[in-house]
Structure 1
Amino acid sequence: MRAFLREAAGGLPRQFWFLWTGTLINRLGSFVVIYLAIYLTQDLHFSQSQAGLVLGAYGVGGAIGTMGGGVLTDRWGRRPTMLTAQFGTAALMLTLGFAHGFWQLLAGAWLLGIFAEGVRPAFQAMMVDVVPDRDRVRAYSLNYWAINLGFASAAIVAGFAAQVDYLLLFVVDAGTTLITALITLTFLAETRPARVAARRARGGPGLGTVFRDRVFLVFLGLNFLIVLVIMQHMSTLPISMSADGLSPATFGWVIAVNGLMIVAGQLFVPKLIDGHNRSRVLALATVILGIGFGLNAFAGTAAFYAITVVIWTLGEMLQSPSNSALVAELSPSLLRGRYQGVNSLSWSAGSALAPVIGGFVQQHAGSAVLWLGCAVIAALVAAGQLISGPARERRAAELRVSEGVVTSPAPAATETLHEEDVTPPREVRVPADD
């Protein structure tokens, strides 16, 4: 066991563990988004479409937050961006808890999305900064493990807290976010590369470079489609279970299966997928996700829903670390925050549209059509992963070579930066039109 733990978690830098601890604490109190659909439909008596619009507003705010957060991460720095987003999230979480009108909740969810999702690019860029390339799959698996350990605990506890008072969910969520912000303030140092800061002062490549990177955009398009499927577990799945007569507490236990499985098995995933073609791993993961969500069309009991969660969780466990490590490899150091921001945009856009589209389909066509449609989307994404994989691997290999030049040892503090020290070599540009 000691040997396994050394292999799974040994040798990672100290700052990574502060990031990991903040993730765990924050996720232990992540109640609101899990139960927001139930809160809106059962406690405030909104329609399914209205609930979908509120959840969609959160996603729209998240899209703005990730883009703004990505730019600020490169220009302002990782640490100040994280602090602003975390303190803002805590304040807005409490504000949303006391809102009851539809338009108040719509505006509050939109603002909360901006701040809550604005931290993602800075967090991911800092992790890439401090973790060497060879350890990133392990690091992302460990971070994903922490996310789901917190998620599993939060889902169970929040199910009972919701039966007492929904306001309690907002208060605890705000409190854990505040603790995470204090960890950032106290223990995390700025990691933005010095040469990036120098280059920013002189002007250089910007956000448009990311949107001209066709290989990266194709990858994000596929990611966006699968996010539409995955995020149904936060919006339409609890509504389906409620329609089958299952309580919020039952939903909490069922969805906690997802977190418990990841906690039990995620640390074994890096060794399992090591040496395998990443595009095939991603394609297989997507197929498994599609089967799991598709089977919800036939579910009606807590046990059946739990089985579907087991299946799609297996796909999620394979997909997440491979996906995150690939985004890191496709991100030039000069634009790391922006690439992470645009990557988060695919999640935010998917989170915005998933409840709106899912709620509309569920209300007008029925749950069976919704879940079978998820299976079809997943099959199409799996095919896309296999087709586009070779171009991604070529791009990652090219960038590894060029970044080997850029990330050579920085000049000593007493040395003068010359033009070649602050200007990226020609290889760092995104190759045109692969």
Structure 2
Amino acid sequence: MQKLFRNYIQSFSGLSREIWWLALITLINRSGAMVIPFLSLYLTDDLNFSLSQVGWIMTSYGLGSFAGAWLGGKLSEIIGYFKVILGSLFLTGISFIIIQYLHSFWSICAGFFILILIADTARPAFFIALSAYSKPENKTRSLTLIRLAINLGFSMGPAVGGIIIASIGYFGLFWIDGITCILAGFLMIYTLNPKKTKEVDKEIVVQNPLPAHLDWVYVVFLIALAIFGFIFVQYFSTVPLYYKEIHKLSEEKIGLLLALNGAMIFVLEMPLIAYLEKTSISKLNHVIIGSALTGISFLLMLISPWAGVLVIGMIVATLGEMISFPFGNAFALERSKLGKQGAYMGLYSMSFSIAHILGHNSGMRLIENFGYTITWITMAFLTLVALLLLFSIQISIKKYSTEVCTVKSNN
């Protein structure tokens, strides 16, 4: 047991002070993010919207995310990642407090579009900050630490959120979300002020930068990630509805089941990534393995009406998430060295925004028209499509490496 504990602690060693502060800011911010996992329930139960309307609201959410990711990439190149993150935290906090007072369909659509646009301007900036504060050999583990902070916050959020809903209602969640965003902003001013911190891996200035949208290997990779994101976002919209409608789980039990995801990531992800980094398996292969596991989790829900399958499915999906996301992020950061990081990471963030635009709405419509069984089969099929795209990238990269080696040997 002591050896396991020492290995766990060792997996965190070598990370910079700034990365730890960035992780703490993320934890404070995400620990208040209780609204998101319960959003579909809030819209249907509290505001009495239909599944079709909820789907369009989620699409507005996704469109805001897409626009915010693009804007964040641009602003990061113009004013720097620090100002982008700081402005996003403060304005997102104010937006969360305001949005609880919107009740009509169109005002909710507009409100969530603006909210997530502001919030997601910080996403490319966070990636650039993480890259700047982390040594090249520590980037994957640094990404994993930030994800650990995000998921620890999410694991606390749904568990506490379910209790808050049961006791005082949904409005409390919006206030907590808003206040924690603002607190995270103040902490960032105190700890990561550019005048007090130093970058350990500054962005490389490429003489002839390759535009992100012309790097076809990167574009195909992002298409595969967008499909994977389409599948993954179901766990924040259609899957909670499945828990409630088919398995009759209460909000508190749903919150605890979602909290299992964050708890597993908190305990297992960092040592798992530290171990996998030592293997000969490439980053892209890890993404393939993780994506496959997440797709399998949907098939597991078709096996039996036994509620225990939900726990098994969540465990398998979480393992897939733990493997695919850190190595997917690391692959994108590594590829971004070919051009401007702001543009590359903005495009990376936009791929997940596309998943939000299409995933929630399509998932709701599939359920409404065909039921949960067909919806889960569709997710498994889309997983297969994403895997084929990732395999095609892998073949192209190997072919390119072989050609380069051949040229060098001839010279």
Q: Could you tell me the TM-score, scaled by structure 1's length?
A: 0.85
Number of the residue aligned with 2:220: 218
Give unmatched runs, 5+ long, in structure 2: 404-411
Which of 238, 241, 244 matches 1:242? 244
Once the two structures are aligned, what percentage of the paired residues are identical?
A: 27
- Equivalents in 2 of 1:397, 1:335: separation in Å? 27
Q: Quick check: 2:212–2:339 contact (8 Å CA) kept in 1?
A: no
- Equivalents in 2 of 1:148, 1:382: separation in Å? 25
Number of the residue aligned with 1:174: 178
1:331 match: secondary structure: helix
Number of the residue aligned with 1:280: 285
Q: Quick check: 1:90–1:178 contact (8 Å CA) kept in 2?
A: yes
Q: Quick check: 1:250–1:302 contact (8 Å CA) kept in 2?
A: no
Number of the residue aligned with 1:253: 256
Alignment of 1:56-67 (within 5 A): 56-67=59-70
* Cα drift, residue 19 of structure 1: 0.3
Deviations 1:43-101 (A, max 9, x none): 11111111111111111001000000001111110111111111111111111111111
Which of 98, 108, 111 matches 1:108? 111
Deviations 1:112-167 (A, max 9, x none): 11011111111110100111110111111111111111111111111111122100
Which of 17, 21, 24 matches 1:18? 21
Number of the residue aligned with 1:432: none
Give unmatched runs, 5+ long, in structure 1: 399-434
Does 1:387 pair with 2:392? yes
Q: Quick check: 1:141–1:269 contact (8 Å CA) kept in 2?
A: no
- Equivalents in 2 of 1:212, 1:169: separation in Å? 42
1:20 match: secondary structure: helix
Number of the residue aligned with 1:291: 296
- Equivalents in 1 of 2:342, 2:163: separation in Å? 38
Q: Quick check: 1:297–1:369 contact (8 Å CA) kept in 2?
A: no
Worse-superposed segment, 3-12 or 389-398? 389-398
- Equivalents in 2 of 1:311, 1:360: separation in Å? 25
Structure 1 residues 161, 394: closer, same or farther in 2, change over 3 A?
A: farther
- Equivalents in 1 of 2:117, 2:401: separation in Å? 30
Number of the residue aligned with 1:428: none
Number of the residue aligned with 2:409: none
Number of the residue aligned with 1:353: 358
Q: Could you tell me the TM-score, scaled by structure 2's length?
A: 0.90
Number of the residue aligned with 1:188: 192
Q: Quick check: 1:297–1:367 contact (8 Å CA) kept in 2?
A: no
- Equivalents in 2 of 1:73, 1:394: separation in Å? 34
- Equivalents in 1 of 2:200, 2:250: separation in Å? 50
1:10 match: secondary structure: coil
Number of residues paired by the alignment?
393
Number of the residue aligned with 2:378: 373
- Equivalents in 2 of 1:218, 1:262: separation in Å? 28
- Equivalents in 1 of 2:399, 2:135: separation in Å? 20
- Equivalents in 2 of 1:397, 1:44: separation in Å? 58
Structure 1 residues 21, 395: closer, same or farther in 2, change over 3 A?
A: farther
* Cα drift, residue 393 of structure 1: 7.0
Q: Quick check: 1:122–1:337 contact (8 Å CA) kept in 2?
A: yes
AA aligned opposite 2:128:
A
- Equivalents in 1 of 2:257, 2:303: separation in Å? 16
Please give the root-mean-square deviation of Cα atoms over the aligned residues, in Å: 2.5
The structure 1 segments of at least 4 consecutive aligned residues displaced by more than 3 Å after TM superposition are 189-197, 297-302, 390-398
